[in-house]
Amino acid sequence: MAGVIFLFIAVGVCVVGFLVIWLRHRDRTTFTSSVDRFDAEMSALRPPAESGRRGRWRR
C-alpha cells in the first residue's frame, strides 16, 4: 500500500512541476490576440494596394 501512495505522490509532483514549467514558458496572449492573429493573416492574403503605376504585363 505504501508503494501506491508513493506512486500517487510522485505523479502529483510531476504534474505540478509540468504545470509550473508550462505556465512559465507559454506565449503571453492578450484578450484580442486571436483577432490580431486573424487580421495579420488576412492582411498577408490581401492583394497589394494599387499604385499609380501599372504592372509590367498590364496594358
23 in a domain, yes or no? yes
pLDDT tens track of the chain, all 59 residues? 999 999 999 999 999 999 999 999 988 788 888 899 899 999 988 888 776 665 566 55
Could you give the CA distance from residue 54 to residue 57 in angstroms, rounded to a whole number?
8
Looking at residue 59, its pLDDT comes to: 53
- Residue 21 domain flag: yes
Spell out the residues 6+ positions from residue 36 whose beta carbon is closer than 8 angstroms to its own: 30
Count of the separate structural domains present in the chain: 1
pLDDT score recorded for residue 13: 98
Structural domain of 5: 1-45
Tell whether the torsion through CA atoms of 7, 8, 13 and 19 is positive or negative.
positive
Instruction: Please state the pTM of the whole predicted model.
Output: 0.49
Residue 15 and residue 31: Cα distance in Å, rounded? 27
pLDDT for the residue numbered 12: 98
Q: Per the domain annotation, does 57 fall within a domain?
A: no
Query: At residue 24, what is the residue type?
Result: R
C-alpha 12/C-alpha 24 separation (Å) is 18
